[in-house]
Amino acid sequence: MRKLHILLHTKQFIIPALGGNELQDILLGVRWLETKQLVANFLARTLTLG
């Protein structure tokens, strides 16, 4: 299990998360995420939700 560091405005949250090549489906609120802009920067290891 990994820990995700999430920065929301000026507050940081650390949450546990599972991930890897074994997971074939998106498990995190996909219907909600479909209404938002999510940018993945793999080099910086960041996700930006706008």
- List the domain boundaries for the chain: 26-50
Residue that the structure tokens 């546990």 belong to: 16
* pLDDT surpasses 70 at 34: yes
Cβ-contact 4, 17 below 8 angstroms = yes
* pLDDT surpasses 90 at 43: yes
Residue 48 to residue 12: CA distance in whole angstroms: 13
Residue 5 to residue 20: CA distance in whole angstroms: 17
Q: State the pTM of this model.
A: 0.40
The pLDDT of 2-24, averaged and rounded, is 75
Q: What percent of the chain has pLDDT over 90?
A: 2
* pLDDT surpasses 70 at 28: no
